[in-house]
Amino acid sequence: MPHRSDALQALGLQLGPRPVDEALRRFAALDPRWNIELSRAYLLAMSDRIDEARTVAGAAEKHARELGHTADPWLAEIEKLAGNHEAAAERLRSLCDRLAARGLDAPLAAYAGLLGRELCSLGRYDEAEEVAARARDHAHEDDLVTQAFWRQATALVKAHQGDHPGPSGSRARH
């Protein structure tokens, strides 16, 4: 029987301070469920083992879909680490569309902010501005992570437009 604590351990290994190779070794002791495998795939991508990460994530995505879940956030992050911002943006856009269709505003706001950042990476600033505004409109004011995501996308757009704060804090267009 899988332990719930395995998922928490996997998250801790993914986000924690251990070097990636050590964290990957510790994954061997965890139950290889789809969500745990996605965390392992992310670590593989962090260690520049992109092909292996995609293989592990692809298998995990199949299991996730069978159970009615999505792997898009992890797969987008893996593609981002691989430098494939187009694929990352496609995954995030698909996820945002599904969340919007289901009326799930809180996760929509977070992932729309991430999508805005990816669109900026692709030089698609007009789209990024629209997506960041959508994220802002759906973000809860107390959700600091989501607030950071849409604000980062907005800042990238404004910087691209030459809209920077002046020395006194006033907005100056360059």
Question: Do 58 and 94 sit in the same domain of this protein?
Answer: no
pLDDT of residue 8: 86
Phi, psi of 16 (to 5 degrees): -80, -175
DSSP state of 104: -
DSSP state of 142: T
pLDDT of residue 168: 61
On whether residue 47 sits in a domain, the answer given is yes
Distance CA 86, CA 149 (A): 18
pLDDT of residue 3: 55
Question: Do 54 and 93 sit in the same domain of this protein?
Answer: no
Mean pLDDT for 122-132 is 97
Beta bridge partners of 164: 172
Distance CA 120, CA 128 (A): 6
pTM: 0.86
Phi, psi of 171 (to 5 degrees): -80, 130
pLDDT digits (tens, 9 = 90+) for 36-84: 999 999 999 999 999 999 999 999 999 999 999 999 999 999 999 999 9
3-class SS of residue 163: strand
Question: Do 100 and 146 sit in the same domain of this protein?
Answer: yes
